[in-house]
Amino acid sequence: MDLIRYFAKLARYHAWASARLLEESLSLLTEDEWRRNGGLFFGSVHRTLNHLLVADNIWWGRFVEGRSDRIALDTQLHADRAELGAALMSAANRWAPWIETLDDAQFEGELVYTRGSGEAVRLPFAPTLGHVFNHATHHRGQISAALTAMGKSAPEIDWIYQLQQEARDRQQFHALRREPAAILGVTYDQ
């Protein structure tokens, strides 16, 4: 598999895992649970999700727009839960289409940017792009642990579950193309 396809898959996982966490578990939290300090690095679920959005925006700026925003990593971009969830999903969903516009040579190159401290940085493009998605996985894991500590269920959001879901979806799609009547339970009387 080429790097473009690999990273596009990883980006789709990033969006899928974020959606599952938001829709299946976090939507069920009370306002108190949402904002309660759960011992996460950024304190609450709310603050951790805001951090994820800040980080996603910073990396998007560096990779796509050639800019390095200087913004505190604990900045609250959205106080409202619904607005935060929508912004987080919008940010996560933009990666795969952009990655699919890249060419192989870019993955062999470097990403040059300026850290929030003002330090100039040159890093290999592909592993640094991988960091974007790994970072989000790290914090989604923290949120999953916080959910468990609250006595709530956390969704299964390991990448393997998304890959298995895609495989099932492909199988069902191909089966429908081959025998739609049989799959749908339709019988034809002659």
H helices, E strands: number in the chain: 9, 2
Q: How far apart are CA 111 and CA 62, in angstroms?
A: 8
pLDDT given at position 3: 94
**What are phi and psi for residue 122, nearest 5 degrees?**
-130, 115
The predicted model scores a pTM of 0.86
Mean pLDDT, consecutive 10-residue stretches, the chain (190 aa), reads 92 96 92 93 95 97 94 94 97 98 95 92 97 97 94 90 87 71 56
- With a CB cutoff of 8 Å and minimum separation 6, the contacts of 103 are 4
Contact 14/52 with Cβ under 8 angstroms? no
Nearest CA to 35 out of 48, 23, 20, 45 is that of 45
Nearest CA to 55 out of 68, 39, 37, 36 is that of 68
